Amino acid sequence: MNSTDLSVLKSAVDWLKAGYPVAIATVVQTWGSAPRPVGSWLAIRQDGQVAGSVSGGCIEDDLIRRVQTEILTRNSPEMVVYGVSQQEATRFGIPCGGTLRLLIEPKPDLAVLEQLLRNISSQQITLRSVDLLSGKSTLKDGDRNDVFFCDETIMRTTYGPRWRMVLIGAGQLSLYTADFALASDFEVIVIDPREEYAEGITRNDITFIKGMPDDVLLELGIDAHTAVIALTHDPKLDDMALMEALKSAAFYVGALGSKVNTQKRKERLLEFDVSKDQVEKLHGPVGLYIGALTPPEIAVSIMAEVIAVKYCVASSE
């Protein structure tokens, strides 16, 4: 769950605890050009106050009106569709004739939402199921590979850090990159065996492991929802991590360094148990080229490239 949708959950819990009637809208299907992905949330309070977005502002006014005048009085969820016709898409300003299908829960269970918030805060992946006939929702342990599902009887949504970023090195650049990754729904793990960096990692939102990168990566088990980025600029540490990461199922493997150093690194890796095809998976210099100079700017470029690869968007460079 990214930072935007987490704030929706927190607002819904606070409002329900304060005694306000609240409805939760979830994007369950999109067609055409939709500004918010499936699973996005919008919490609507009885007085019209909202948290989150399901369309970038295109249909929210009408949705708030419908919730206030019709849906909040009901006991079971309701499916609402916007943009079925070109005329309606134009009326609501949905781009390119896009269509949104939303599930509205008029009486979400406060206890379930509170438990979900606790689970997410402890980095626990959680699957929430909603019975579309009764409106009852339940929670159980989720998995990184769970996918969103909704039919005529049930909606299942996974919350928590389904994506994972492993950063090699605990320097300043890693911490900036970690901040952007956390805001983008990534669990963040930082690996660094060096004593001088171990003392500086005291944050609760980052898992810090003091150990040799190759050993730790093997223990973690790198899957297709994991990005591994080497940022120490020390070949003794970065190369050890890359040897394991490139042989894994990681969807993204990157390393800090110039084009010249990247080529030298690839040549070194080929001397070990890494194939040419595996070496070519390496993204280096790491990040999209945006002219970045400072650590925060470089972190932005790294996160941009990771997200592009995550969604299979080809680089324009």
Q: Tell me: do 139 and 183 sit in the same domain.
A: no
Which pLDDT band, with edges at 50, 70 and 90, does 304 fall under? Answer: very high
Q: Tell me: do 95 and 168 sit in the same domain.
A: no
pLDDT recorded at residue 314: 74
Cα–Cα distance for residue pair 185/1, rounded to 1 Å: 5
Q: Which of 105, 136, 159 is the last residue of a domain?
A: 159
Cα–Cα distance for residue pair 232/236, rounded to 1 Å: 9
Q: Which of 118, 136, 159 is the last residue of a domain?
A: 159
Which pLDDT band, with edges at 50, 70 and 90, does 201 fall under? Answer: confident
**Alpha helix ranges (H) inside 96-201:** 110-121, 172-183, 195-198
Asked if the structure places residue 179 within a domain, the reply is yes
CA separation, residue 237 to residues 23, 91, 193, 241, 256 (Å): 50, 57, 9, 6, 12
Q: Tell me: do 143 and 16 sit in the same domain.
A: yes
Amino acid at 284: G
Q: Tell me: do 194 and 59 sit in the same domain.
A: no
List the one residue out of 287, 289, 312 whose CA is nearest residue 302. 287
Q: Tell me: do 35 and 121 sit in the same domain.
A: yes
**Which helix (H) or strand (E) segment is 219 a member of?**
helix 213-220
Q: Tell me: do 188 and 276 sit in the same domain.
A: yes
pTM for the structure as a whole: 0.74
**Contact between 277 and 247 (Cβ < 8 Å):** no
| Coil, helix or strand at residue 197 | helix
Rg (CA), the chain: 22
Higher-scoring residue by pLDDT: 202, 212:
212
Which pLDDT band, with edges at 50, 70 and 90, does 97 fall under? Answer: low
The total of structural domains in the chain comes to: 2
CATH of residue 200's domain is 3.40.50.720
List the one residue out of 119, 154, 149 whose CA is nearest residue 136. 154
Asked if the structure places residue 1 within a domain, the reply is no
**Confidence check: pLDDT of 84 > 60:** no
Lowest mean pLDDT among 27-36, 167-176, 269-278: 27-36
Higher-scoring residue by pLDDT: 5, 97:
5
Q: Tell me: do 205 and 145 sit in the same domain.
A: no
Asked if the structure places residue 25 within a domain, the reply is yes
State the residue range of the domain holding 50. 6-159
pLDDT recorded at residue 10: 94
**Contact between 254 and 165 (Cβ < 8 Å):** no
Q: Tell me: do 14 and 154 sit in the same domain.
A: yes
**Contact between 79 and 103 (Cβ < 8 Å):** yes
Percent of the chain having pLDDT more than 90?
68
Q: Tell me: do 38 and 150 sit in the same domain.
A: yes
**Confidence check: pLDDT of 232 > 60:** yes
Question: CB-based contacts of 15: which residues, under 8 Å, 6+ apart?
Answer: 22, 43, 45, 49
Asked if the structure places residue 204 within a domain, the reply is yes
**Contact between 193 and 212 (Cβ < 8 Å):** yes
**Confidence check: pLDDT of 309 > 70:** yes
Q: Tell me: do 192 and 68 sit in the same domain.
A: no
Report the chain's mean pLDDT, rounded to a whole number.
89
Which pLDDT band, with edges at 50, 70 and 90, does 91 fall under? Answer: low
Which pLDDT band, with edges at 50, 70 and 90, does 88 fall under? Answer: low
Question: CB-based contacts of 293: which residues, under 8 Å, 6+ apart?
Answer: none
**Contact between 50 and 22 (Cβ < 8 Å):** no
Q: Tell me: do 75 and 192 sit in the same domain.
A: no
Asked if the structure places residue 99 within a domain, the reply is yes
Cα–Cα distance for residue pair 54/34, rounded to 1 Å: 9
* Span 113-158, pLDDT tens digits: 999 999 987 778 899 999 999 999 999 999 888 889 999 999 999 9
Lowest mean pLDDT among 25-29, 196-200, 226-230, 299-303: 196-200
Asked if the structure places residue 295 within a domain, the reply is yes
Asked if the structure places residue 317 within a domain, the reply is no
Q: Which of 133, 159, 185 is the last residue of a domain?
A: 159
List the one residue out of 137, 127, 175, 108 whose CA is nearest residue 1. 127
**Confidence check: pLDDT of 255 > 60:** yes
Q: Tell me: do 206 and 301 sit in the same domain.
A: yes
Cα–Cα distance for residue pair 49/18, rounded to 1 Å: 14
**Contact between 92 and 82 (Cβ < 8 Å):** yes
